[in-house]
Homo-oligomer: A and B are copies of this chain.
Amino acid sequence: MRDADRPSRPASERTRVRRLPARGCYEREQIHAILDATPLGHLGLVDGGQPFVLPVLQARVEEQLYIHGSAAARWVRLLADGAPACLTVSAIDAYVLGRSVQKHSVNYRSVSVLGCALPIEEEDAKRAALEAFMERILPGRWAEVRAPDERELKAVAILSLPLAESAAKIRTGGPNDLERDLGSAVWAGVLPLRSATDEPLADPSLPAGVPLSESILALRRRIEAG
């Protein structure tokens, strides 16, 4: 069965959006689009009853989220031992500016994935997963640079979290001002936000004449295009 032919998944009891259910959406295309647009994720873990939230880079490969870290990191060992995790990816698209304090908000897109993130152990599978991870975040770069040797591959852990239990939450549009505030003379609307880049900075040790890589030019174009 091709990826795109699968039905969107139903919300589980744990991922169903309880507040403002109109903002919940369980369509897989939307979940994929949000994850693919925002490599920064926040990984939640429990250690001795205390929650911890770590920033991680995440990359979706079909129905898995890959994350990576040092093989020696405590959070990697916790996940490898089967600790339940939550990975959330969020981006703010706009400030929403209403005519009353209460009607201020942000437009955002967010996905949360619940499950276990297990390390990929076998060497060939791990190398392939690392390549897929990098290819998602920075397409074309893998082919431009030196591949990891055996020791480098050993030092990194790459973990795979299935998207099976995931949900998106999205807010779009302008302020939902109350009828009674519409006559107010204050400006209301949205201030759109986006990511932008500045000029790439070459490493001081780079010899003169080495051109900017194709992969970096393409990444920059993609970020600037939103």
Judge whether A189 and B201 touch: CB under 8 Å: yes
**A33 proximal to B (CB < 8 A):** no
Task: Report Cα–Cα, A145/B108, bound state, in Å.
Answer: 23
**A190 proximal to B (CB < 8 A):** yes
Which B residues are CB-close (under 8 A) to A189? 200-203, 206
Q: Could you tell me the distance in whole angstroms from the C-beta of A56 to the nearest C-beta in chain B?
A: 9
Known A102-B152, A187-B216, A196-B195; contact A52-B112, beta-carbon cutoff 8 A: yes
Judge whether A210 and B194 touch: CB under 8 Å: no
Q: Could you tell me the distance in whole angstroms from the C-beta of A32 to the nearest C-beta in chain B?
A: 18
Which B residues are CB-close (under 8 A) to A55? 88, 90, 108, 110
- Size of chain A's interface in residues, with CB distance under 8 A? 93
Judge whether B203 and A191 touch: CB under 8 Å: no
Partner of A51, one of B45, B100, B130, B223: B45
Q: DSSP majority for the A interface?
A: mixed
Count copies of this chain in the complex.
2
Task: Report Cα–Cα, A176/B87, bound state, in Å.
Answer: 28
Judge whether B51 and A44 touch: CB under 8 Å: yes
**A164 proximal to B (CB < 8 A):** no
Which B residues are CB-close (under 8 A) to A198? 192-194
Which B residues are CB-close (under 8 A) to A204? 174
Among residues of B, the one whose C-beta sits closest to the C-beta of A101 is B148
Task: Report Cα–Cα, A104/B133, bound state, in Å.
Answer: 12
Among residues of B, the one whose C-beta sits closest to the C-beta of A134 is B101
Judge whether A51 and B46 touch: CB under 8 Å: yes
**Residues of A46-96 whose CB lies within 8 A of B:** 46, 49-55, 57, 70, 72-74, 84-88, 90, 92, 95
Known A110-B55, A210-B186; contact A145-B101, beta-carbon cutoff 8 A: yes
**Residues of A115-174 whose CB lies within 8 A of B:** 130, 134, 138, 141-142, 144-148, 152, 155-156, 174
* Sampled A-B contacts (14; CB under 8 Å): A14-B50, A18-B74, A45-B51, A46-B50, A98-B145, A101-B134, A146-B181, A174-B201, A182-B205, A186-B210, A189-B201, A190-B201, A193-B198, A194-B198
Task: For the complex of A and B, list the 9 residue pairs with the smallest distance between their C-beta atoms, beginning with the closest.
Answer: A44-B51, A42-B42, A55-B90, A44-B53, A196-B196, A53-B88, A100-B146, A192-B198, A44-B44
